[in-house]
Amino acid sequence: MKSLILAARGLAKSPGFTFVAILTLALGIGMNTAMFGVVNDLILRPLPLPHAEQLFRLNRTTSIDPNGAQSAVNTLDLQRAAADFAELAYYRYWGFAIVLPNHPAESLNALRVSANFLHTLGIQPIIGRDFREDEDQPGKNKVAIISHRVWQTHFAGDRSVIGRVVRLDGDSVEIIGVMPQRFGEANLFDFVQIYRPMGMTGEERTNRTDFEMNVIGRYRNGITNTDAASRFTALGERLAKDYPKENAAAGVRAEPLGAARISDLGRKIVFMLLCLSGFVLLIACSNLANLLLARAVSRSREFAIRGALGAARWQLMRPIAAECFLLALFGGIGGFAVYHATVGWMSWRFGSDVTPFNIAFDWRVLLFAVVSCFTTAFLFGLAPAWLVSRLNINTFLKSGARGSTGDRSHEWFRRILIVGQFSLALILLTAASAFVVGVGKLVHQRSGWTADNLLSCKIGIPSNLYDSPEKVIAFVQLAQTKVGAMPGVADTAASMGIPAFGFNGPRGYMIEGQPPPVAGREPMAFINSVSPEYFRVVGTKIVQGRGIEKTDTRKAPNVLVINESMARALFPKGDAIGHRLGVAGAADADWGEIVGVAEDVRFLDPRETLVRFQVYRPYTKEPWGYVSFTVKTAPNFASGALAQQIRQTFAELAPDLPLQDLMPVPAAIERNFRDFTTIDQLLVAFALLGLFLAALGIYGVLARLVVQRTGEIGIRMALGAKIGDVIRLIVVAGLKMAVVGTVIGLVGSFGLGHLLVNAMPGVITSNTTAITFATMLLLAIAVLACWLPALKSARVDPLIALRDNN
């Protein structure tokens, strides 16, 4: 306790040193703890479900997608075949329009689930009941369970909500339960708001090519992961043998359900953030070591005298250890504040009212913070103390000059720390720059389309309200006509998707007159059903033949437009026009004649690194249960008033159908990439902090160098040295360390850049520009950090310096 009191007094006498040391620790530890909190929440923390280790997700594996969904028919076959060793449940992502009294229609994120879905997961509604088996039948599935968040936001937490009837897609549906809050926070199924029994349709029960069914399960007691994996592999092989057209090149693989909380790309980005925040902590610790070394060196004569009086080395180090403990304690408290500020900012940036993002603070995060705090403080604090304790006692006792530190053998340690700081800062800055530049290119690329003067929106068209393709087509065409007549509208188009957000698919195709392709190796293409106006509205050019026209009605012959990449690959002679394509492996090939070739479109999707094959067909031939409307406005036309008119028009046409995501396309792109821009901002903050700490470190070393060499500088100036010579002496000493660190950092930057490009090719394509920018910026900061103490050295009065050196 006495040592701590003395240490506290010593730190209080040096408020500048104490403040900088605590701030350095707080920033480094706080940011690292926040990043670890994200890793813990998304990857490490067990699912809040009973016996979560028995839960798994069953993936359909192909060369295109190793984590794909199954068809409904495959799912039912697997469920029956695996009954002896696992209980399987299934679900399908959906969207329902809910209409509450005195409220406009609203779209809810939903899951259609099998009746045993909650039972398989091992949870029950907090109020109400689970689904019954008989409610999983068409016509009997007019019940729903709502999420805890919907219960609070839409029904004010009223327990009498059980039994209330609401309208979902025009159906009267009874609310029978409310999900636990902890289940919604587990982020397993993209923040679902409502659950409804599957009620599998006849089409779903017979279609083996519609791979939209997600399968989860729970191993029965006594079944090991290895045993279950081999059994599922065998079941996948059986499906491939029994139904080769649909499953010949596909397998079945089980993975822990917790792995589904985050995508592969998301997992890579999270670990990248954790590693780069670790670089910030290492730079901060190097600075702390420099600060503590300078403080220890200033007490060298004290240590020498105590050593001469018989103090052991551990007794010499004890006061510094006490100071390190206090710095770690207060640095940890400051780090806790930085952690909460960072987590709060990330929750605001990553989350929304519909999809909240909360990072839980549990014992893992606390343990990480405590271990990081005391480990960094003691390792980087006691190392300088140990160096000073090994200095020659006689040298210090013989030295009588004021301000002399005697033996300067510790300088090599300080220079190594500075070199390491600059190396880490360059690697950090390069990685941040590469990610920022890559995301910027991805967001702003417009290959084969344009976003200028475009508004877009989506609307779901439920089959129970529009029970025939003709009704869907009539609704879409009527909506186009009404919106197209509005002031300021230059053109409007309907489609299944737009390039900014990708098309549906992929779907396998075969060429008429050629041998059918081997199952699993068919040419796969993304599909888009479009109205005749689509190509001119989105700006995709027809480079050969024609586009979709008004004469391509539902009763007209089936026609297709393919993209350039598909035309070159399938028809290298350039004779694609006139050939017919059919859907491979389907009972109905749905042959269509190629009438046009469109330019390649590149989607704004970090997972799509190459231009894929793309097929366009008339919307009249394949109307879907949802449609995207794209409106091209006149140049410089204010879109705010138009958006309100569009919303009102759709409310009049279909009051039960909510209009979704109505906004200018550039704004929609910005919203979709909000997570990436938030990561950009985090990385920029890391890089700037690393730069600041590295600059602070080299400034501190050079400032100390100026103090140590004051006598030498005075002698040089007394002998006629010019101010420029003195400045050059100090600047060159600092730049040597900066350049060595930069060279080492360049090697690390190229290595890290190669790793990032391979890990995230859709986000980071090349880091040459980033490395050049980072190197120039780092050296510029180094010059500035060296210049300031050099200017101070130039103001040394030779007479005072010579007098103090005697």
pLDDT digits (tens, 9 = 90+) for 141-157: 999 999 999 999 999 99
Q: What is the pLDDT of residues 91-119, one digit of tens each?
A: 999 988 898 877 778 889 999 999 999 99
Whether residue 43 lies inside any domain: the answer is yes
Does 256 map to a domain?
no
| DSSP calls for 729-757 | HHHHHHHHHHHHHHHHHHHHHHHHHHHHH
Answer whether residue 55 is part of any domain: no
d(CA 436, CA 767): 11
Q: CA-CA distance, 45 to 38, in Å (whole number)?
A: 10
Tell me, yes or no, whether 451 lies in a domain.
Answer: no
* pLDDT of res. 767: 66
How many other C-beta atoms lie within 10 A of the C-beta of residue 347?
A: 13
Dist CA 36 CA 42 (whole Å): 10
Confidence check: pLDDT of 381 > 80: no
Q: What is the pLDDT of residue 156?
A: 92
Is residue 584 very low, low, confident or very high in pLDDT (cuts 50, 70, 90)? confident
Q: Are residues 309 and 167 in the same domain?
A: no
User: Which of 249, 264, 287 is at the close of a domain?
Assistant: 249
Question: 401 falls in which pLDDT band (50, 70, 90)?
Answer: very low
pLDDT mean across residues, the chain: 85
Is the backbone peptide bond immediately before 319 cis, with ω within 30 degrees of 0? no
Task: State which amino acid sits at residue 586.
Answer: A
Same domain, 45 and 100: no
Give the structural domain span for 433: 423-443+674-806
> Could you tell me if residue 302 is inside a domain?
yes
Domain boundary among 619, 653, 687: 653
**How far is the C-alpha of 94 from the C-alpha of 786, rounded, in Å?**
61
**Looking at per-residue confidence, does 376 or 577 come out higher?**
577
Q: pLDDT of 402-437, one tens digit each?
A: 444 444 556 777 788 888 888 998 888 888 888 888
Q: Which residue has the tokens 């002399």?
A: 404
The reported pLDDT for the residue numbered 404 is 45
The pLDDT value given to residue 316: 64
Structure-block tokens of residue 150: 């919907």
pTM of the model as a whole:
0.82
pLDDT exceeds cutoff 60 at 159: yes
Element (H, E) at 93: strand 86-99
- Are residue 45 and residue 78 in the same domain, yes or no? no
- Contact yes or no for 407/396 (Cβ under 8 A): yes
502 and 356 co-located in one domain: no
Task: Report d(CA 697, CA 709) in Å as an integer.
Answer: 18
Residues 26 and 84 in one domain: no
* Contact in structure between 632 and 539 (CB atoms under 8 Å): no
pLDDT at 393 over 60: no
Same domain for 626 and 503: yes
The answer to the question of residue 508 being in a domain is yes
**Which amino acid, 332?**
G
pLDDT above 90: residue 444: no
The DSSP bridge partners found for residue 251 are: 61
Distance from C-alpha of 130 to C-alpha of 114, rounded to nearest angstrom? 11
Contacts of 67 (CB under 8 A, 6+ apart): 59, 61, 255, 264
Q: Is residue 262 part of a domain?
A: no
Pair 130, 18 in one domain: no
pLDDT band at 464 (very low <50, low <70, confident <90, very high): confident
On the question of pLDDT at 735 being above 70, the answer is: yes
Question: What Å distances lie between residue 487 and 636, 645, 666, 772, CA to CA?
Answer: 13, 10, 21, 50
* Together in a domain, 483 and 404: no
pLDDT of 236 over the 60 cut: yes
Residue 33 token pair: 């703890």
* Tokens 């920033």 -> residue: 27
Classify residue 56: in a domain, yes or no.
no
pLDDT-wise least confident of 137-151, 396-410, 483-497, 698-712 = 396-410
Joined tokens for residue 785: 């950090």
Backbone dihedral region of 129: left (phi > 0), alpha (psi from -120 to 50 degrees) or beta?
A: beta
Under the banding of pLDDT at 50, 70 and 90, the label for residue 313 is low
How confident is the model at residue 124, as a pLDDT? Answer: 94
pLDDT tens digits, residue range 222-234? Answer: 888 888 889 999 9
Helices (H), strands (E): how many in the chain? 25, 22
**Under 8 Å between Cβ of 627 and 476:** yes
Q: How many domains does the chain have?
A: 4
For residues 116 and 33, membership in a common domain is answered with no
As a whole-number percent, the residues of the chain with pLDDT over 90 amount to 35
Query: Based on the domain organization, do 229 and 149 belong to the same domain?
Result: yes
Based on the domain organization, do 308 and 187 belong to the same domain? no
**Per-residue pLDDT tens digits for 652-663:** 898 888 898 899
Cα 233 versus chain centre, distance: 31
Which span out of 187-191, 245-249, 365-369 was modeled with the highest average pLDDT?
Answer: 365-369
Do 619 and 481 lie in one domain? The reply is yes
